[in-house]
Amino acid sequence: MSRDRTREALATRAARAGINADPGHGGIVAPINVAATYLRDDAAIPGKFDYARTNAPTRAVLAEAIAGLEGAEGACLTASGMAAIDLILNLLPAGARIVAAHDCYGGTQRLFNARAPQRGFEIVYADATDLSALEAALKPGAALLFLETPSNPRLRITDIEAASALGHGAGALVAVDNTVLSPALQRPLELGADIVVSSLTKIINGHSDMVGGVVCARDSAVLDDLAWWLNASGTGLGPFDAFLATRGLRTLPLRARAQSDSALELAGRLAAHDRVSHVDYPGLAAHPGHALAARQQSGRFGPLVSLEVKGDARRFLEGLELFSLAQSLGGAESLVSVPALMTHAAMSPQARADAGISDSLVRLSVGLEDGDDLWRDLETALARL
Ligand SMILES: *Cc1c(COP(=O)(O)O)cnc(C)c1O
């Protein structure tokens, strides 16, 4: 009897990703299949797998698992999160109008701004948390609305359901970058988006040992277009990285829960500390997007906490030992970064100011270390100020 996966909890489906999927040897986990090409029975008829640029077994296991968690028709896996976002741009005709959240990831803005003159795209950046500003930006008939919520690093919350309705009203495809939360904590397709894109590099893999991306679509025609471009452009994920991300995915719900709980506790303690002037964390009742986040997310608020300290942010950074100074987020290890100098350095100073990213903003990605140990580390570094 085959399982009714639709009735299973997300944790069950994640833990079973690629399990019992080795018909060749009966291995409990799906093997890494490295073949570049696959035998045909008939010269004119490809088998299920034909050439590994198009699709391959190890990639297919992960694609099916993530599509299942997002509630998508299917998924395309790419060599990075940026390749996944670029894949979406292939759906658009020359001259298309794109409306994007003004505080979306710096690398996304760099890509959009570079593609615009090449393909005649008109890119409008808008504050997606302000629905009337979004409606005004969408009005002249946009082809793509690109959202990111919570936004990174200020963790502003966009109402996906309301924004999607505005996007659809203008005739646009609605895509949401779900990297910061992952399907364990938020499922944009259930809220009305057409496409959800994530970096696998971050919390989905969760171990900071591979780079990859994924695009999921609700509609099979959109998915077919994405798959066509994935094959044509050859930017698909390789088998070793697909294997690693599948292994990471099995513990995603557990990690997302533990890291969110730790982040909430640390954010509350930071907000009450006299050397901290400001904390952004959607799990805190004082956060302007708290009620919305509580409603549209899965009851938890993710691993990222941003803060401003009173005094020299660099002195604070130098005092940290359990938070490693490095880009990226969502891994089992805690990281600290200065977005203006690191993840968002590609944006112009004006664009950073518009998005509320000051030069002294510090972003924490809370990992799986013991929460009290992390707090002691933060306290010690704050005491240096
Ligand atoms: C990291 C990141 C990306 C890009 O992913 P890569 O795997 O690094 O290419 C896109 N969006 C967000 C929100 C990110 O944090």
Exposed e or buried b for every residue in 247-266, given b needs 16+ CB within 10 A? bbbbbbbebbbbbbebbbbb
Mention every residue, 6+ apart, whose C-beta is less than 8 A from residue 106. Answer: 339, 343, 344, 345, 346, 347
Q: How far apart are CA 67 and CA 47, in angstroms?
A: 22
- Say if residues 174 and 166 touch (Cβ distance below 8 Å): no
Question: Is residue 1 over pLDDT 60?
Answer: no
* CA 88 distance to own-chain centroid: 14
pLDDT average, residue stretch 203-218:
98
Place of tokens 């035998």: 39
Average pLDDT score over the chain: 96
Q: Which domains does the chain have, with CATH numbers?
A: 5-249 (3.40.640.10), 253-382 (3.90.1150.10)
What atom in ligand 1 is closest to the CA of residue 328?
1
**Tens digit of pLDDT for each residue in 92-129?**
999 999 999 998 998 999 999 999 999 999 999 999 99
pLDDT average, residue stretch 273-301:
97
What atom in ligand 1 is closest to the CA of residue 82?
9
**Tens digit of pLDDT for each residue in 322-363?**
999 999 999 999 999 998 888 888 888 998 888 888 888 999
Give which of 374, 150, 156 is closest to 262, Cα–Cα. 374
Give residue 354's pLDDT. Answer: 83
Give residue 81's pLDDT. Answer: 98
**Tens digit of pLDDT for each residue in 313-327?**
999 999 999 999 999
Where does ligand 1 bind, in terms of residues with CB under 6 Å?
A: 80-82, 105, 107-108, 148, 152, 177, 179-180, 199, 201-202, 211, 213
Question: What is the residue with the minimal CA distance to atom 4 of ligand 1?
Answer: 81
Question: Is residue 5 over pLDDT 80?
Answer: no
pLDDT band at 293 (very low <50, low <70, confident <90, very high): very high
pLDDT average, residue stretch 43-72:
96
Dist. CA 157 → ligand 1 center (Å): 18
Dist. CA 370 → ligand 1 center (Å): 26
* Residue tagged active-site, from 86, 103, 177, 280: 177
* Residue tagged active-site, from 16, 53, 115, 310: 53
pLDDT average, residue stretch 229-250:
98
Phi, psi of 236 (to 5 degrees): -75, 160
pLDDT band at 23 (very low <50, low <70, confident <90, very high): confident
Mention every residue, 6+ apart, whose C-beta is less than 8 A from residue 45. Answer: none
Opening angle at CA 312, ends 308 and 315, nearest 5: 110
Dist. CA 308 → ligand 1 center (Å): 23
pLDDT band at 371 (very low <50, low <70, confident <90, very high): very high
SS3 state at 149? coil
Out of 77, 78, 105, mutate this one to test ligand 1's pocket (max ligand atoms within 8 Å of CB): namely 105
Question: Is residue 381 over pLDDT 80?
Answer: yes
pLDDT average, residue stretch 181-205:
98
Question: What is the residue with the minimal CA distance to atom 9 of ligand 1?
Answer: 81
Give residue 320's pLDDT. Answer: 97
Question: What is the residue with the minimal CA distance to atom 15 of ligand 1?
Answer: 179
Mention every residue, 6+ apart, whose C-beta is less than 8 A from residue 272. Answer: none
Give residue 2's pLDDT. Answer: 63
Q: Is 53 a catalytic residue?
A: yes
SS3 state at 345? coil
Q: Is 119 a catalytic residue?
A: no
Give residue 219's pLDDT. Answer: 97
